[in-house]
Amino acid sequence: MRVILGLIAAIGAEACMRERTLQTHHHSHVKRQDANATFPPVLDANEQILLDSFDNTSISTWSYYYTHGDHIAGRNRTMAQWTADRWAEYGFSSRLDEYYVYLNYPVSHSLLLTYPNGSTFTPSLQEAILPEDETTGYPNRIPTFHGYSFSGNASAEYVYVGRGQQVDFNRLKALGVQLEGKIALAKYGGPFRGLKVKNAQEHGMIGAVIFSDPSDDGNITEAKGVVAYPNGPARNPTTVQRGSVQFLSIYPGDPTTPGYTSKEDSPRADKSNSVPHIPSLPISWVDAQPILEALNGFGTVGVEVNRTGWVGAIPGVNYSTGDGSGATLSLSNVMEDDITPIWDVIGIINGTNQDEVVLVGNHRDAWIVGGAADPNSGSAVLIELAKAFGKLSETGWKPTRTIVLCSWDAEEYGLVGSTEWVEEYIPWLKTAAVTYFNIDVAVSGPIPDIAATPDLHAISSSLMKKIVWPYRGTTNRTMYDVWTEEVGGEIGVLGSGSDYTSFLHRGIASIDMGAGGGPTDPIYHYHSNYDSYHWMATFGDPGFHTHKAIGQYLTLLLYHMVSDASLPLEPADYTSELKTYLAELNETIATANGTLELSELTSAIDVFKTSAEEFNTLRALAIDTNDTELLAVTNHKARDFSRGFTSQGGLPGREFFQNLIFAPGLDTGYAPVTLPGITESITFQNNFTLAQEFVGKTADAILVAAAILKT
């Protein structure tokens, strides 16, 4: 399902662990386009130097480097050092931070379908090698597998479980389908894949097979006459989506060191709460076709199941549940477990105010030799950004605030590199971090897409007016114009699926950005060998112009965040967002036929509103009088107030997730839930006592934030 909810759902994912996003919370920040807007945009001298430094051809050179070697997590220290060397050339003091983490790598796998009559079908479990696309045929190309999957065999009848959400399993139980002892056949899309495996495991199933489905591609399909990659923009039918099966919504990071840093001699905890103990494999839709076909006519036919996203678009398949088919699957998955080094690259330019730090991060590891979109479009952009700041530094410019560039390793397995790093540096980050900017899939299509904490909404939308955004052949529109026209100028709420997660859940203002495809754009082959340099140069971003534009945007954001005398954060913008979340909570309560006493929350939001207004008054005075001491006071308040939104104990059953305003859904993993402690106590546990407790905790958190802002 490419298009599901709202406008932005039409856009591809920009975050690496994320698939198609289902963001329900988007609020428009668009005012009517300024009558006086000039084109090209007017820039000051420093902005001009920064943006002029960007060169599409040099970006393509960085992209080419990153996409022609194995760089799965923990396997390419050379690439980490190369990244550090590039940043160092441009003036960043750069180093590698090493962690010893649990990872596993594929050794062998097999899958066999046995029909009731005893004949068999053997899926290839491989993506086709394409002569046009050299990295698809590299001898060291990465097999199809699931990161953090369980080594084991399973042989049993199998049942189609839709997208594998808890509601899908509930529906199967209501239909009387026996799940215990069976293998789950699940469709990609919707929740994070690890949660599909978790749900299957919790229902007593003994293995899981997850397939891609062309229904995710809307009208850009071979069935609708569109030619497939490499000759056209449709999905290559052999595409397999690799990816982690960690239980992302419970605990990201190294599963063997929950809450502390993974050093070589760190004690290792039991990991069974955050990774599966049943084996799983990903397959392509061509491999899935016979497996699904064998279920036709058994159990409940797909349309009768009445579940969103249940029926896909594979020809000849009716997506029956399949109980009683008599067909069986034999699955084998062998992984090698390792505690192995990974390397985060850290590049720093000290600011004059070292107690104010702005971080920019992208992960470097990919599931495949390529990774031209995920994540190395972001990696290429980050080098070009470093180059631009190098140019500006040549004029004698120095940042007021410290800049920290981060190239994370092992994001793909479960945000491992960033989580371990935050666990190590949390005392410093809690006191000094102003914002974290994340760029994962910088480019998988032409449409800009951002999600951010509310205090970053104003600056992140206004700076779009300064960027020329090349779009479908036109060169006379700004990023803001395209964003307004294509996605209604809506800024998403942060859920999870990329490296901002650890920062956000320690109360640090964050933004996640990228550009993705709409319903008419070429299909981006997420976590597949076809996410390659050749695909990017031919279909994703020919000419690398979108790379350049999104890189210029990130550069301007960083420039203003590190050099504006008054920090461009707007705490007061939380007020209206909080009110929206509260109204949504009210609906959740009504739908569940429950009652909750919300007055504590309502008055906390009122207190926040008053404090934020007082803050604005004080800040205006600081700016008007150019009072350096007063500016330092207001800047520190803007830096610190969102720490208040976090709670030490975290959310029910998942203490890692401390932010009480937004979190990834427990059963979505990617998509956000607002006021999550209260909301999910209702939607998951139907426990109004617990929900009432979290009304108190959430109100307290908002009051702490208000107290930090108060003057």
CA distance linking residue 329 with residue 291, whole number of Å: 9
List 234's β-bridge partners, or say none.
Answer: 228
Residue choice 583, 624, 629, 649 for contact with ligand NAG (CB under 6 A): 583
Is 69 a binding residue for ligand NAG by CB under 6 A? The answer is yes
- Nearest approach, Cβ of 541 to ligand NAG (angstroms)? 9
Residue choice 14, 15, 18, 65 for contact with ligand NAG (CB under 6 A): 65
Spatial contact of 529 and 367, defined as CB atoms under 8 Å apart: no
Residue choice 11, 50, 79, 511 for contact with ligand NAG (CB under 6 A): 79
Find all residues with CB under 8 Å of 1, minimum gap 6, and list them: 20, 189, 215, 216, 309
- Nearest approach, Cβ of 189 to ligand NAG (angstroms)? 14
Show the site string, 486-525: x = touches ligand NAG by CB under 6 A, - = not.
---------------------------------x------
Is 431 a binding residue for ligand NAG by CB under 6 A? The answer is no
Spatial contact of 207 and 329, defined as CB atoms under 8 Å apart: yes
Is 684 a binding residue for ligand NAG by CB under 6 A? The answer is no
Cis peptide bond upstream of 375, omega within 30: yes
Comparing CB distances to ligand NAG, the nearer of 237 and 370 is 370
**Residue count, binding to ligand NAG (CB under 6 A):** 46
Which H or E element spans position 407? strand 401-408
Spatial contact of 325 and 319, defined as CB atoms under 8 Å apart: no
Comparing CB distances to ligand NAG, the nearer of 333 and 478 is 478
Q: Residue 175: left if φ>0, alpha if ψ -120 to 50, beta else—which one?
A: alpha
Spatial contact of 209 and 185, defined as CB atoms under 8 Å apart: yes
Residue choice 7, 167, 458, 690 for contact with ligand NAG (CB under 6 A): 690
Show the site string, 585-604: x = touches ligand NAG by CB under 6 A, - = not.
-x---x-xx--------x--
- What does DSSP say about strands 401-408 and 146-147: parallel, antiparallel, or unpaired? unpaired
Find all residues with CB under 8 Å of 45, minimum gap 6, and list them: none
- Nearest approach, Cβ of 402 to ligand NAG (angstroms)? 7
- Nearest approach, Cβ of 355 to ligand NAG (angstroms)? 10
- Nearest approach, Cβ of 692 to ligand NAG (angstroms)? 9
Comparing CB distances to ligand NAG, the nearer of 266 and 308 is 308
CA distance linking residue 482 with residue 457, whole number of Å: 17
CA distance linking residue 440 with residue 514, whole number of Å: 7
Spatial contact of 237 and 228, defined as CB atoms under 8 Å apart: yes
Is 582 a binding residue for ligand NAG by CB under 6 A? The answer is yes
Show the site string, 142-181: x = touches ligand NAG by CB under 6 A, - = not.
----------------------------------------
- Tokens 């429950």 appear where? 594
Q: Which one from 47, 411, 486, 577 is the annotated catalytic residue?
A: 411
Residue choice 5, 30, 70, 616 for contact with ligand NAG (CB under 6 A): 70
- Residue closest to 46 by CA, chosen among 393, 527, 433: 393
Residue choice 170, 352, 431, 476 for contact with ligand NAG (CB under 6 A): 476
Comparing CB distances to ligand NAG, the nearer of 153 and 354 is 354
Which H or E element spans position 401? strand 401-408
Burial bucket for residue 352 (CB in 10 Å: 0-12, 13-18, 19+): exposed
Is 300 a binding residue for ligand NAG by CB under 6 A? The answer is yes
Residue choice 34, 264, 265, 624 for contact with ligand NAG (CB under 6 A): 34
Show the site string, 190-229: x = touches ligand NAG by CB under 6 A, - = not.
----------------------------xx----------
Residue choice 134, 222, 304, 424 for contact with ligand NAG (CB under 6 A): 304
- Residue closest to 142 by CA, chosen among 443, 412, 338, 537: 412
Residue choice 18, 26, 29, 71 for contact with ligand NAG (CB under 6 A): 71
Which 8-state DSSP code applies to residue 9? G
Q: HEC string of 253-299?
A: CCCCCCCCCCCCCCCCCCCCCCCCCCCEEEECHHHHHHHHHCCCCCC
Show the site string, 308-347: x = touches ligand NAG by CB under 6 A, - = not.
----------------------------------------
In this chain, which stretch among 63-71, 403-411, 550-558, 672-680 interacts with ligand NAG, using CB under 6 A?
63-71
- Residue closest to 197 by CA, chosen among 289, 331, 30, 309: 331
Is 125 a binding residue for ligand NAG by CB under 6 A? The answer is no
- Nearest approach, Cβ of 378 to ligand NAG (angstroms)? 15
Comparing CB distances to ligand NAG, the nearer of 10 and 245 is 10
| N-terminal to C-terminal alpha carbon distance within the chain | 49
Is 566 a binding residue for ligand NAG by CB under 6 A? The answer is no
Site residues (CB under 6 A) for ligand NAG, limited to 524-553:
543-544
| Residue 411 designated active-site | yes
Q: HEC string of 323-384?
A: CCCCCEEEEEEEEEEEEEEEEEEEEEECCCEEEEEEEEEEECCCCCCCCCCCCHHHHHHHHH
Spatial contact of 490 and 26, defined as CB atoms under 8 Å apart: yes
Angle formed at CA 690 by CA 685 and CA 692, multiple of 5 degrees: 125
Is 117 a binding residue for ligand NAG by CB under 6 A? The answer is yes
Show the site string, 641-680: x = touches ligand NAG by CB under 6 A, - = not.
----------------------------------------
CA distance linking residue 212 with residue 238, whole number of Å: 9
- Nearest approach, Cβ of 595 to ligand NAG (angstroms)? 9
CA distance linking residue 342 with residue 100, whole number of Å: 6
Give catalytic residues, as residue numbers: 411
Residues that bind ligand NAG (CB under 6 A): 2-3, 34-36, 56-57, 60, 65-66, 68-71, 76, 78-79, 93, 115, 117, 119, 218-219, 300, 304, 306, 350, 354, 474, 476, 519, 543-544, 582-583, 586, 590, 592-593, 602, 626, 628, 687, 689-690, 693
